[in-house]
Amino acid sequence: MTSIEARAREITARYRGKEGVLVHILEDLQEEFGYLPEEALAVVAAERGLSLAEIYGVASFYARFYFTPRGKNIIRVCTGTACHVRGASRVLAKLEEGLGLKCGETSPDLKYTLETVSCVGCCALAPVVVVNERTQQVLDPGKVLSVLKKE
């Protein structure tokens, strides 16, 4: 048994005898591992008497669950209307170039994950980048990598 499987058994055991708790189990697994490893999902399926397809069906319904490891630093470029009009695509291009990543990718060293979001509600500051839940105004797309140094 791998350490992932062992830890998944411990987490799943907390919910033994309780119904309607699959999402809670998935949240706990993701909190533990940073994503939902297939090994852990297989344990949940076996322990809860569900098929792996059912587990994936529930987990893939929610945008907050991830099936691959994510970076320590999550970088989200806002692409909402105000940010789009004020140069979000240039900001994203500079980040992709500087990090060597495409949108939706995680660096091999698991340091960064780069993604876009529809709106973060800071339209007056547009364009903005959110790094680890901290919103940063990007006045000059050419200097966007300096935003990462603040984290």
- Specify the amino acid at residue 90: R
pLDDT higher than threshold 90 for residue 55? yes
Which domains are present in the chain?
A: 3-61 (no CATH), 73-141 (3.40.30.10)
Considering the chain, what is the average pLDDT of its residues? Answer: 94
pLDDT band at 144 (very low <50, low <70, confident <90, very high): confident
Q: How far is CA 93 from CA 48, 99, 141, in A?
A: 44, 10, 9
Give dist(CA 111, CA 113) in Å, integer.
Answer: 7
Give dist(CA 25, CA 19) in Å, integer.
Answer: 11
By the 8 A CB rule, do 67 and 61 touch?
Answer: no
pTM confidence score: 0.79
Average pLDDT, integer, range 128-140: 91
| Cβ atoms within 10 Å, residue 78 | 28
**What is the pLDDT at residue 56?**
96
In the block, residue with structure tokens 């000059």: 140
Whether 78 has a binding-site annotation, put simply, is yes
Tokens coding 73: 């630093």
**What is the pLDDT at residue 145?**
84
Whether 122 has a binding-site annotation, put simply, is no
- Specify the amino acid at residue 101: L
Whether 123 has a binding-site annotation, put simply, is yes
Give dist(CA 117, CA 114) in Å, integer.
Answer: 10
**What is the pLDDT at residue 141?**
84
Whether 83 has a binding-site annotation, put simply, is yes
CA-wise closest residue to 104 among 139, 79, 134, 141 = 79
Tokens coding 70: 């994510």
**What is the pLDDT at residue 70?**
93
